[in-house]
Amino acid sequence: MTHTIAIVGRPNVGKSTLFNRLAGRRLALVDPTPGLTRDRKEADADILGEPVRIVDTAGLEESDPGTISGKMRQQTLKGIKDADLVLFLIDARAGVTPLDRAFAELVRETGRPALAVANKCEGKAAESGYYEAFSLGLGEPCAISAEHGEGMSDLGMEILSRLNVKDQVPEEEGEDDGEVKPAVGKVKPIRIAVVGRPNAGKSTLINAVIGEDRLITSDMPGTTRDSIAVDLTFEGTKLKLFDTAGLRRKSRVTEAAEKLSVGDALNAIRFAEVVILLVDATHPFESQDLQIGELVVNEGRALLIGVNKWDLIEDRAETLRNIRAVAEHTFADVKGIAIVPVSAQSGKGLDKLMAATMGAYDAWNRRLSTAGLNRWLSEALQRHPPPAAAGKRIKLRYMTQASARPPTFVAFCSKPDGLPKSYVRYLVNSIRETFDLPGTPIRFQLRKGENPYAKKAKFGGKKRGAK
């Protein structure tokens, strides 16, 4: 059983810094701006050899339930209720504030096991704040500096003690019957990033797919800041959906917090396997949508387009025709991108969107046999022979698939530099149509084929006319 540990406290006490420290890598955004974290962010970690699940939460604040701060508070309370242990963080340099006392009482009322953690204890200025933490009623506090890594070993031992990990008796191993048992590998979930402009409905879409209000939603653009991962199983396949911050034009991004959010969203695209570009049906394909799509294609990710707010469209046939026309023109190098109208608010079209996502993933992972490729190459050359270069016709002798994710092909050619881009485009489009690879980026590389007689001449072969 993996224990869950929630990190809570008022804004700007260092929760995300501690989260990153325990996770062993930078996952949560860290900035002096209060309230940067809004949704719960989760990660697997290892504390002194014990696997745990850690949860970063939004800063606790007094606010109305309908506001963004109120929804952040609800997400944090949900994280507390689901946790096996709560780490209640305070800023030792600032001391215990009335807000700290109010929220410590709230944590006690939930009945969850809790540990007071006095952060920022790297100097003498924190001593009084550390001793004030005893008054929170959460037992002896643990002094740390999450930023500098001080006190982390003591914190780890205290966490394991509170979780009673050391008291657990390991299961006795059965007798070895000599049978060789296969190793069971952990199946990694498919990583799917949902991207788009602000207010396209990305968080609402993911909430609708998983069937719960896991992510904070609002009509206010810029609600999502961190890239939040949500686990899902679809038709027996494990998925990990990444909600990302809305991407605006670079010239409009000025605040430090938004710059961090944009960087996090771009990283989500780079590490995703499938990217759903979500566009607003009422204002489809603005320039920013097209730039995001081009970025996804250049990164070699599988791409599909979700057209959200479809329930607000009256002339749906005409709107869909226009969207398809723009997509075919803009993404000419990845013809056949799936375009799925959906309504995240009502839940319509979500099954089709998920089915199209799995189809895009399968095409992105497709591997073709070398024999099949060379049969296709022979037919493609007969239909449309390559042009001549310097009076000699270019020859394509052999072809193979070098890798998948995305599909990458290598063709051996007599004059790679002389083959026009238009002919390479013809070959790529023919591969896409013949082997059913719609909408996925295809990499096509040309290499100079070896002279089959060069090796014979090098190792003792005689030139014509030699004595």
CB atoms within 10 A of CB 425: 13
The mean per-residue pLDDT over the stretch 136-144 comes to: 90
Query: What pLDDT sits at residue 38?
Result: 52
- The reported pTM is 0.66
Average pLDDT, the chain: 81
Cα gap 37→9, rounded to integer Å: 12
Q: Are strands 228-234 and 237-243 parallel, antiparallel or unpaired?
A: antiparallel
The predicted model gives 372-387 an average pLDDT of 93
Comparing 180 with 326, the larger pLDDT belongs to 326
Residue 293 to residue 330: CA distance in whole angstroms: 9
pLDDT at 244 over 50: yes
Q: Determine the Cα–Cα distance for residues 302 and 441; give it in Å rounded to an integer.
A: 7
Kindly tell me if the per-residue pLDDT of 29 is higher than 60: no
pLDDT of 185 above 60: no
pLDDT for res 391 = 75
Rounded distance between C-alpha atoms, residue 275 and residue 350, angstroms? 15
Q: Strands of 3-8's sheet, edge to edge?
A: 41-47, 50-56, 3-8, 85-91, 114-119, 142-143
Whether residue 443 contacts residue 406, with contact meaning beta carbons closer than 8 Å, is answered with yes
Query: 190: which strand partners?
Result: 239
Residues 93-132 have pLDDT tens digits of 999 998 888 888 888 888 889 999 999 998 888 888 999 9
- pLDDT value at position 172? 41
336: three-class secondary structure by DSSP: coil
Tokens of 25: 């890598």
Q: What type of residue is 21? A: R
Greater confidence (192 vs 224) lies with 192
Top mean-pLDDT range of 106-115, 130-139, 163-172, 350-359:
350-359
pLDDT at 171 over 50: no
How many angstroms separate the CA atoms of 143 and 133, rounded? 10
Domains and CATH numbers, the chain: 3-162 (3.40.50.300), 190-364 (3.40.50.300), 370-448 (3.30.300.20)
Question: What average pLDDT does range 80-88 have in this prediction?
Answer: 90
> Regarding predicted confidence, which is higher, 260 or 116?
116
Q: What is the mean pLDDT of residues 304-322?
A: 94
Residues 6+ apart with CB under 8 A from 43: 19, 23, 27, 53, 54, 56
Confidence of residue 167 (pLDDT cuts 50, 70, 90): very low
Q: How confident is the model at residue 28 (pLDDT cuts 50, 70, 90)?
A: low
Q: Flag whether pLDDT at 463 surpasses 60.
A: no
pLDDT higher than threshold 60 for residue 375: yes
Question: Which of 133-142, 166-175, 214-223, 327-336 is predicted least confidently?
Answer: 166-175
The residue-averaged pLDDT of 21-34 equals 67
What is the pLDDT confidence band of residue 224, given thresholds at 50, 70 and 90? Answer: low
